[in-house]
Amino acid sequence: MVNRQKLTEVVVREAEPAEGRDYQIFDTEVRGFAVCVYRGGGRAFTLDYRHAGRQRRMTFGRWPEWSVAAARTRAKELRREVDAGGDPLADRGALREAPRISDLIARYVELHLAHLAKLNAADQRSMMEKLIAPAWGRMLVTEVSAYDVELLLTKVAEGRARPAKAKPRNRARKLQGARPTPVRANRVGEVVRKMFAYAVKWGWREDNPAMGFRRRMETPRERYLSQEEIAQLAAALDAAEDVRAAGIIRLCMLTGARVGEVRQARFEDFNLEHLSWTKPATTTKQRRVHRVPISDEAAAIVRLRRQAVFAGCPWLFPGDTPGQPVQEVRRFWRRIQRAAGIEDVRIHDLRHTFASLLVSGGASLEMIGKLLGHSQMQTTQRYAHLMDSPLRAGVDAVASAFKPKPRLVHSAEPASEPTAPRCGSGKVSASAS
């Protein structure tokens, strides 16, 4: 027989556990509301109801964490939902199985990063593991709002102390505080926007909270080597003992290529007869074949490397690991920076210098974009200000033609009888012609 009585704190507290079984005490006020007394002594509030012909039991709170009054109020809410045709237990199951940000990251890595360049994929994976997952990992995909996106990007833009290690070996780095990283915040925003675009496509949510996120102001780094610095760099490379690494730097300077493209260059990519270099899509940032002309000096480096590399090796700059190209030249570059006195110059600045020399030689922005392999014209626009010099020369020419010229005016007095000049009557005056 069903045990029914009005549930109170006294009834729930004094209910004795039954040996070997659990039992319920149903409330007389709310239909289906009960307290379940477990054989171990625990107590929890439940709601029994029928949905679509099936008997269902939902446990929603434990006593004494939930008081009887709070449990009765919640039971009434659930009862109204059931009477309206809902199924609270099914809704709870759907919520439990709803995808979380960790699930979105895992699928994004599987389906999207697999098609990106190696370095780009590694960079995005680092953003998700170090920045996105710690902040949102356990949140449901549907819970993230535009406000959450703004908070995350603001935190990223503020930067963090370097390095991430708790006890860095380098004392200078240990004392280095956080530095603002607005560019990193923008890149994280782009990754988040792409992730939620996939979530919308997969039906995991209806909108993209990162769409139109606030972009931080970026100040592009503009560092170009002067003619004197180029000469110092060339001298330092000539004196370097590591001929292989020196060849990589020279080829970066002579072609404007990215260091990764030079490191992975193969002999078969170069046509020395026509002086061209065809970069395969696997090595370019834009993920497409990029064919560029090269100079005689660059071709000479390729010929010298052919003589230095053992027969059958496909790599222009083979690495220490068999079958692999050179992996990194950062240590070598730091030595060259000190030797050439250009400590503030990055390897990528050689690419900017290459573009600046093209501009000074009269190349157009379209030509520069093709040589550098830019997929978007706005990327090449960063070099537009370098074209001010020839424009300024043309403006100066117009100004020179329009500038008034002085005209000599003789005094009315005879030249044979010089007199002291009077105030307001000079010998020579200038007037506009």
Q: In what order do the strands lie in the sheet with 33-37?
A: 23-26, 33-37, 43-51, 54-63
Q: Write the CA distances from 244 to 22, 104, 271, 383, integer angstroms.
A: 78, 43, 21, 31
Residue 208, SS3? Answer: coil
110-114 mean pLDDT: 89
Of residues 433 and 67, which shows the higher confidence score?
Answer: 67
Assign a CATH topology to domain 9-97: Double Stranded RNA Binding Domain (3.30.160)
pLDDT for 265: 92
- Percentage of residues of the chain with pLDDT beyond 70: 80
Count the alpha carbons within 13 Å of 273 in the hemisphere toward its beta carbon: 1
Residue 385 is predicted with a pLDDT of 57
Check if 9-97 and 227-387 are the same fold.
no
> What is the pLDDT at residue 432?
40
State the Cα–Cα distance between residues 207 and 393, nearest whole angstrom: 53
Nearest alpha-carbon partner for 294 in 317, 316, 278, 314: 278
Q: At 427, is the pLDDT very low, low, confident or very high (cuts 50, 70, 90)?
A: very low
Q: Tell me what pLDDT residue 357 has.
A: 80
For the ranges 20-24, 242-246, 379-383, the lowest mean pLDDT is seen at: 379-383
Query: Residue 305: pLDDT band by 50, 70, 90 thresholds?
Result: very high
The two most distant CA atoms of the chain are separated, in Å, by 146
Kindly report the length of the chain.
433
Please indicate whether residue 179 or residue 309 has the higher confidence score (pLDDT): 309
**For 227-387, which CATH superfamily applies?**
Intergrase catalytic core (1.10.443.10)
Report CA-CA distances (Å) from 319 to 239, 346, 347.
Answer: 21, 22, 19
pLDDT band at 151 (very low <50, low <70, confident <90, very high): very high
CA distance 361 to 367: 12
Q: What are phi and psi of 51, to 5 degrees?
A: -140, 125
Average pLDDT over every residue of 292-296: 90
Could you write out the DSSP letters of every residue in 315-364? BSSB-SSTT-B----HHHHHHHHHHHT-TT--THHHHHHHHHHHHHTT--
Residues 380 and 370: their CA atoms lie apart, in Å, by 9
CATH class of 101-201: mainly alpha
Supply the pLDDT for residue 94.
54
- pLDDT on residue 11: 92
395 versus 232: the higher-pLDDT residue is: 232
Taking 3-state DSSP, the helix, strand and coil percentages for the chain, each rounded to the nearest 5, stand at 50, 10, 40
Reply yes or no on whether the pLDDT at 135 is more than 50: yes
Which pLDDT score, from 0 to 100, does residue 365 have?
72
User: How far is 384 from 378, CA to CA, in rounded Å?
Assistant: 10
Residue 246 near residue 236, CB atoms below 8 Å: no
Q: Lowest-pLDDT range, 142-151, 190-199, 247-256, 357-366? A: 357-366
pLDDT at position 355 is 81
- Short-list 255, 279, 284, CA closest to 351: 255
| pLDDT per position as a tens digit, 347-387 | 888 888 888 788 777 777 777 777 777 766 666 666 665 55
Half-sphere exposure for 227 (CA within 13 Å, toward CB): 1
What would the mean pLDDT of 39-61 be, rounded to a whole number? 88
pLDDT digits (tens, 9 = 90+) for 172-190: 444 455 677 888 999 999 9
Domain ranges of the chain: 9-97, 101-201, 227-387
More confident site: 112 or 398: 112
| The predicted structure's pLDDT at residue 185 | 93
* Phi, psi for residue 23 in degrees, rounded to 5: -145, 165
Specify burial of residue 389 (Cβ count, 10 A radius: 0-12, 13-18, 19+): exposed
For residue 86, name the pLDDT band (cuts at 50, 70, 90). Answer: confident
CA 307 to chain centre: 41
The arrangement of strands across the sheet holding 276-279 comes to: 270-271, 276-279, 290-293
Confidence check: pLDDT of 431 > 70: no
pLDDT tier at 89, thresholds 50, 70, 90: confident
